[in-house]
């Protein structure tokens, strides 16, 4: 299963880089925010970007995964959505999908029946989601207008097009989880990935071993990040401006990360893809 949710947005007078994770993903344009007190618009945009990460809105991911699978692992859609983030709790409500377009040909067209089923699922999923756990608990209701979610497969064409619009987008889920269920194109920066890997490993360690489903998800997440970090370190090691001593340290770190990916892969029945 392959999918990308990119998150990015525009705020007419505000130029900001798209969400570095973009949920496979989610294309979070910097939307229009209104009626929020005490917090600046820029701060709310930053909170929204974090709170709509892939780990924060799993019901939205589930909508895309089921749609993509039902369509035979093909198809690309763009949804334009308005919603309200409730004061205090961060609960999402009043979701309206203003537009759902089929973008698989590169030219947006009215969506087919599958696209409208995705639209219905998104309304239900978002209305059942809260951004509070992701850190967005505004002091007043926040109305988000023009939230854009772009659902794309991970074909070479889709990746190239997405790279033009976002610094880093999330690609996945893949049919072959041993290649990494999710990753970013291009890989996120090493500092971000080191932090995410540490958090993912800590979560995997805390997960009750009797809860096999959650344990498998936690290990898969660690495996995905280790593969992506390996890809980032590989890219960084070829930088022309890198001193030789720094290059050697990167190679050492790269080998440790690859070894970690192999160890985690053993636990989930995967062998990391050949380099």
Longest dimension (CA), the chain: 57
In the three-class reduction of DSSP (H, G, I as helix; E, B as strand; rest coil), residue 162 is classed as helix
Q: Chain-wide mean pLDDT for the chain?
A: 75
Inform me whether the pLDDT recorded for 14 exceeds 70: no
Provide the pLDDT confidence category of residue 40 given band limits of 50, 70 and 90.
Answer: low
pLDDT class of 161 with cuts at 50, 70, 90:
very low
Of the three residues 112, 137, 171, the one that is the final residue of a domain is: 171
Is the residue at 38 inside a domain?
A: yes
Confidence grade of residue 260 (pLDDT, cut at 50, 70, 90): very high
Q: 267: which 2 tokens? A: 């636990």
Is this model's pTM higher than 0.85 or not? no
Residues sharing a CB contact under 8 Å with residue 48, sequence separation 6 or more, in sequence order: 28, 31, 33, 85, 131, 136, 142, 144
SS (H, E, C) 28-41: CCCCEEECCCCCCH
**Looking at the structure, do residues 63 and 141 belong to the same domain, yes or no?**
yes
Is residue 253 in a domain?
Answer: yes
Burial class (CB in 10 A: 0-12, 13-18, 19+), 92: buried
Evaluate whether residue 161 is within a structural domain.
yes
Domain span at 198: 188-268
Q: Is 50 exceeded by the pLDDT of residue 21?
A: no
**Whether residue 34 is found in the same domain as residue 72:** yes
Same domain, 150 and 260: no
Band of pLDDT at residue 10, cut at 50, 70 and 90:
very low
List, in sequence order, every residue forming a beta bridge with 83; answer none if it has no partner: 144
Report the pLDDT value the prediction gives residue 230, as an integer from 0 to 100: 94
Q: Which of 171, 198, 216 is the last residue of a domain?
A: 171
- Are residue 45 and residue 128 in the same domain, yes or no? yes
In the predicted model, is pLDDT for residue 29 greater than 60? no
Is residue 179 situated within a structural domain?
Answer: no
Q: Is residue 26 pLDDT above 80, yes or no?
A: no
Q: Judge if 150 and 255 occupy the same domain.
A: no
Rounded mean pLDDT, 176-197: 83
Do 206 and 158 reside in the same domain of the chain? no
The pLDDT of residue 78 is above 60: yes
- Please provide the distance, in angstroms rounded to a whole number, between the alpha carbons at the two ends of the chain: 22
Q: In terms of pLDDT, which residue wins out, 56 or 93?
A: 93
Residue 51 shares a structural domain with residue 152: yes
Residue 80 is assigned to a structural domain of this protein: yes
Do 147 and 117 have their domain in common?
yes
Residue 126 has pLDDT above 90, yes or no: yes
Domain check: are 100 and 52 in the same one?
yes
Sign of the CA dihedral running 49, 51, 54, 57: negative
Q: How far apart are CA 274 and CA 176, in angstroms?
A: 14
Asked whether residue 66 is domain-assigned, the answer is yes
pLDDT, average across residues 151-178: 60
Domain check: are 74 and 206 in the same one? no
Confidence grade of residue 34 (pLDDT, cut at 50, 70, 90): very low
Asked whether residue 12 falls in the same domain as residue 77, the answer is yes
CA distance 133 to 275: 37
CB contact at 8 A, 196 and 224: no
Q: Which of 171, 199, 231 is the last residue of a domain?
A: 171
Question: CA 271 → CA 168, 228, 239, 253, 267, distances in Å?
Answer: 25, 15, 28, 19, 10
Per-residue pLDDT at 218 exceeds 50: yes
Q: Indicate whether 49 and 9 sit together in one domain.
A: yes
How many separate domains does the chain show? Answer: 2
Lowest mean pLDDT among 46-50, 69-73, 157-161, 219-223: 157-161
Higher-confidence residue of 22 and 65: namely 65
Is the pLDDT at 8 greater than 90, yes or no?
no
Asked if the structure places residue 275 within a domain, the reply is: no
DSSP one-letter string for 194-211 = HHHHHHHHHHHHHS-TT-
Taken in order 38, 40, 41, 42, is the CA torsion positive or negative? negative
Report the relative pairing of strands 32-34 and 142-152 from DSSP bridges.
Answer: antiparallel
More confident residue, 126 or 47: 126
- Average pLDDT (201-207) is 86
pLDDT(127) > 60: yes
Mean pLDDT on 265-273: 92
pLDDT at 94 over 90: yes
The answer to whether position 178 is within a domain reads no
The pLDDT assigned to 30 comes to 40
């Amino acid at each position: 299963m392959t999918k990308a949710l990119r998150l990015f947005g525009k705020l007419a007078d505000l130029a900001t880089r798209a969400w570095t994770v973009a949920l496979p993903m989610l294309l979070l344009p910097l939307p229009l925010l209104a009626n929020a007190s005490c917090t600046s618009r820029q701060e709310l945009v930053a909170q929204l970007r974090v709170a709509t990460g892939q780990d924060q809105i799993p019901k939205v991911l589930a909508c895309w995964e089921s749609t993509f699978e039902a369509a035979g692992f093909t198809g690309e859609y763009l949804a334009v959505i308005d919603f309200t983030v409730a004061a205090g709790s961060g609960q999402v409500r009043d979701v309206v999908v203003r537009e759902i377009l089929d973008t698989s040909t590169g030219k947006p067209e009215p969506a087919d029946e599958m696209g409208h089923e995705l639209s219905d699922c998104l309304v239900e999923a978002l209305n059942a989601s809260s951004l509070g756990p992701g850190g967005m608990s505004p002091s007043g209701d926040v109305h988000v207008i023009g939230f854009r979610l772009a659902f794309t497969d991970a074909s070479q064409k889709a990746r190239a097009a997405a790279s033009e619009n976002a610094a880093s987008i999330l690609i996945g889920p893949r049919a072959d989880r041993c290649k990494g269920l999710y990753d970013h194109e291009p890989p996120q920066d090493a500092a971000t990935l080191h932090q995410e890997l540490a958090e993912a490993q800590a979560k995997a360690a805390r997960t009750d071993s009797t809860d096999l489903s959650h344990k498998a998800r936690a290990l898969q997440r660690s495996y995905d990040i280790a593969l992506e970090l390996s890809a980032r370190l590989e890219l960084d090691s070829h930088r022309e401006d890198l001193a030789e001593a720094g290059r050697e340290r990167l190679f050492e770190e790269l080998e440790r990360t690859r070894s970690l990916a192999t160890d985690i892969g053993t636990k989930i029945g995967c062998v990391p893809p050949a380099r």
